[in-house]
Structure 1
Amino acid sequence: MPPMKFNKIYLYPLLGLVAFLASCATEPTVDPTVTKTEEGYVNPYEPGSYEHFKAEKNYPKTYNVWKNVQKLPETNSSNSWVKVSLSKQRAFLMNGEEVVMDYPVCSGIASRPTPPGDYKIIEKIIDKRSNLYGKIYDAEGNLVNSDADTRTDTVPEGGKYVGAPMKYWMRLTNDGVGHHIGNVRRYPASHACIRGPSATMPIVYSKVKVGSRILVE
C-alpha cells in the first residue's frame, strides 16, 4: 500500500491544534478574579516549584524556606550573592541571577532601621557576640537590663555585660550592621541587623566569602 499523503491545507491547522492542547496541559490555569487572600484560591503551580512557593497564601509572611535542591550544591563563594527585601522581610541566596534559597529575615525597627545599600561582606565570624547590645547583670548575677546598649547603659560595680549572640556573623558596615542568626519575627524587630533562621544561616554563611555582595533594598 502506498504511504498516505496529507493535504497541507488540513495538516497545518491540525498541528496548531496539537500545539495548543500541549500548552494547555503544561501551563497553569489562573482565575484572575480570585486573589491569594480570597476564599476559593487554589495555587495553580506545581508543588515544590519556586512559583508554587511564592503563590502560597502565606507568602511572604511564611517562616518556610524554599531551596533549589539541584542548584544549591553548585552554589559557592565564586558565584553567590545575597539579596534582602526589606518590604517582604525575606532574603534570597542567589547564584548569578537565579534564586537558590528564599528564607525569612527580620530587619531593624523604625528607630534603628536597616540601611538599604549595596554592600560587600567585610567580616565573617561563626561565634560572634555583640559589643553594642546585650544583657547586664549585677554583682549577684541578677539580670538588671535585658536590652542593654553599651553606649548608654552602665554596668553596676561587680556586675557584667554579656553581648547578644550573633552566630554566623557577616558584617556589612563598620558601625555594627550585619547578617546573622537571630530571633526572626515576621516584621522588623532588630537593632538594624538582618536576622536569619538558625537552620538557614550556616548554609548562607558557607556559600559566601569576605567580599561577597549583599544587596539590601
Structure 2
Amino acid sequence: MNHPTSSLLSVIAAALALVLASCANKSVTLGPDGKPIDAKGNPTNPFPPGTYDHFKAEQDYPKTMKVWKNDELLSQTSAENSRILISLSKQRGFLMNGEQVVLDYPVSSGVPSRPTPPGSYKILEKAVDKASNSYGKVYDVDGNQVDGETPKEVPEGGKFTGAPMPYWMRMTWDGVGHHIGPLPKSRRPASHACVRGPRAVIPTVYGKVKLGTSVVVEE
C-alpha cells in the first residue's frame, strides 16, 4: 500500500514537471536590442535565476563585469576537452567544453590602433609569471617614470620594466596572448592586442587548457 505522503509528493512532482515544461515551451518576445520584453514592451527576464539564459537576458549583458560559471561542467572540464572562444563585439571570453559554455567572463581586447586579430589559434606557450617585452613603463637614470612605453624610448642610463601579464597564454609568436589584466569599467578594448581577463577567472581558465588548446577569436 502506498504511503499517502509519497503519493502526494508524486502528484506535486508531476504537476511541477508540467509547469516547467509549459514555461520552457513559451515563446520569448525580443525587443529591438535583442533582449526579452513582456507584453507591454517592458524589459523582462523570463528565465530561471542561475541559468545561463537568465544571465544573458539581463539588461546589462554583455557589458556586465559579472561572471557566469557552470560549476558541474567545470568539474568535468580538463585540458583534454576544453577550448577558448573570444568575442570581440561582446568583449566576452568563454571557456568551452564542446559546445557548452563553462565560463562566460568579461575581457578587454586590443585598441583600434593595435587590434586583436580575429582568427583561429592554438596556445603556443603558458607561463604563470610573464612580463611584456614590448610594452611597459620607462624610467630615467634617476628612477623617475617618464613618457614612453617601449624599450626604444628608454633614455640613456634609464630602464624599461615590462608590463606584467600573469597567467600568460600565448596565441601568436608576435606577442598576442590571453592573460590577467585591467578591464575598463566602460567595458571597451584597451590593450596592445592581447586579450585581458579578470584576476578571479584567468587562473581557472589557465588550469583547464594546455599547449595546443584551440582559441578562436570572433568579430
Q: Which amino acid aligns with 1:156?
A: P
The alpha-carbon deviation at position 125 of structure 1 amounts to 0.5
What residue number does 1:174 align with?
173
The alpha-carbon deviation at position 139 of structure 1 amounts to 1.4
Alignment of 1:71-82 (within 5 A): 71-82=73-84
Q: 1:149–1:34: structure 2 CA closer, same or farther, 3 Å change rule?
A: closer
Identity of aligned residues (%): 57
Contact persistence 2:36–2:44 (CA under 8 A): no
What residue number does 1:184 align with?
183
Is 1:208 aligned with 2:209?
A: yes
Alignment of 1:53-202 (within 5 A): 53-145=55-147, 147-150=148-151, 153-185=152-184, 186-202=187-203
Q: 1:61–1:21: structure 2 CA closer, same or farther, 3 Å change rule?
A: closer
Q: Secondary structure at the match of 2:22?
A: helix
Task: Please give the per-residue CA displacement for 1:163-190, whole angstroms capped at 9, x wherever unaligned.
Answer: 0000000001010000000111211111
Task: Please give the per-residue CA displacement for 1:112-144, whole angstroms capped at 9, x wherever unaligned.
Answer: 010111000000000100000000111111100
The alpha-carbon deviation at position 40 of structure 1 amounts to 3.0
Contact persistence 2:177–2:194 (CA under 8 A): yes
What residue number does 1:50 align with?
52
Number of aligned positions between the proteins: 196
Calculate the TM-score normalised by the size of structure 1. 0.84
Gaps of 5+ in 1: 1-18
- TM-align CA RMSD: 2.1
The alpha-carbon deviation at position 24 of structure 1 amounts to 2.4
The alpha-carbon deviation at position 30 of structure 1 amounts to 3.5
Measure the CA separation in 1 of the matches of 2:137 and 2:18: 65
Q: 1:37–1:209: structure 2 CA closer, same or farther, 3 Å change rule?
A: same
What residue number does 2:12 align with?
none
Contact persistence 1:34–1:41 (CA under 8 A): no
Measure the CA separation in 1 of the matches of 2:154 and 2:116: 27
Contact persistence 1:34–1:40 (CA under 8 A): no
Computing the radius of gyration from Cα coordinates, the structure with the larger value is 1
Contact persistence 2:140–2:154 (CA under 8 A): yes
Gaps of 5+ in 2: 1-16
> After the TM superposition, which of the residue ranges 20-29 and 102-111 deviates more from structure 2?
20-29
Calculate the TM-score normalised by the size of structure 2. 0.83
The alpha-carbon deviation at position 28 of structure 1 amounts to 5.3
